Amino acid sequence: MNDSRQMNIALITLDSLRYDSALEAKTPNLNAIFTSVGIENWVKVGSQGTHTLASHISMLHAGILPSWNTDDVPGPYNRKKENLFKAQLPWDRKTDATYPTPPASNIVIGFKELGYRTVGIGGVHWFDNRFVTSGFWEKNYFEEFHWEERFAEEEPDGLEYQIDLAQNLLKEEDDRPLFFFLNISSTHIPYRNGPRNIQGQAACLEYVDSHLPRLLSLLPNPCHVIIVSDHGDCMGEDGLWGHAVYHPKVMEVPMVSFILDSNHNELLEKLAKGQILNEKIHQVPKGKVTRELKRLWGKYGPDSWGGRFGEKKSHYTNTLDGSEDE
Ligand SMILES: [Zn+2]
């Protein structure tokens, strides 16, 4: 098992999921998990791209996640306040990210250089590693990358096959902390062959919700989980359909960021068995949300890492001449 001082990271993208579809869906498992980690609901953020490639390149290459920078929005949903990841770039080498990575060709390689096991599982066809146009994730980003035809949006039950694979991959003994990426195609057109409207996409998220506890229970503890959509979909607004076009409904996406630790094991196990809980298992009483966030952050936040990621402001080398900066 992993050293508890090393934070595992899971970035899960719900492809094409609109913010309003996420609010429309009935997601008892997610609701129970949200309550247990002290968050109320999805946070609306702005995508960094109108389609899968642009948005994922932003996230996995530069570490720039969807964001909403108004003063009322806290980090990490607000990049002015907190960046979970940030690549060190020759023209902007400093990193004050929550999880700083050394200079590298992208943040996934940066995590590998920090000693992480980097595992990716693709969903939609932009992750099809049979072709050079979509196979670069395996070659240039992840040490282990997997894509199968049945993971893509044409297969209504693709998520279950992806979780089966994740189970096989993650049961292997490995002492390294984990950087895990999963793109879920279930929320992409054709919406598991359902209606092409908000209710149809919400039903897809309800399907994802029914399998999420099994997925989350596979992740090593503690784990910082980020669940975010890469972009939305138009559903006839202003005459537009789908994505890869600018529209507020394409740019507004749901995001949540939380830490799971061993306190949540019992909850996830019960949810994974299909028990929708009325009982309170590590659920945060109303009004004590902030304290729970502080508990998790105090236990697992940067101060607890004992310099594992180095001093924040000086954790980079000069990429031009190789000398230590500062
Ligand atoms: Zn997408």
Average pLDDT in the 156-161 region?
97
**CA 70–ligand 1 middle distance (angstroms):** 25
Cα separation of 256 and 76, whole Å? 9
What ranges do the domains of the chain cover?
8-319
**CA 6–ligand 1 middle distance (angstroms):** 30
Give 203's contacts (C-beta < 8 A, 6+ positions apart): 25, 191, 192, 194
**CA 185–ligand 1 middle distance (angstroms):** 8
Tell me yes or no: is domain 8-319 CATH 3.40.720.
yes
Ligand 1 being an ion, which residues bring their Cβ within 5 A of it?
A: 15, 52, 230
Would you place residue 274 in the very low, low, confident or very high pLDDT band (cuts 50, 70, 90)? confident
Query: In this predicted model, which residue has the larger pLDDT, 244 or 320?
Result: 244
**CA 189–ligand 1 middle distance (angstroms):** 10
**CA 273–ligand 1 middle distance (angstroms):** 30
Would you place residue 287 in the very low, low, confident or very high pLDDT band (cuts 50, 70, 90)? low
Q: Per-residue pLDDT for 236 more than 90?
A: yes
In 10 A of CB 61, how many CB atoms? Answer: 16
Tens-place pLDDT, residues 81-104: 999 999 988 887 777 899 999 999
Q: In one letter, which amino acid is 314?
A: S
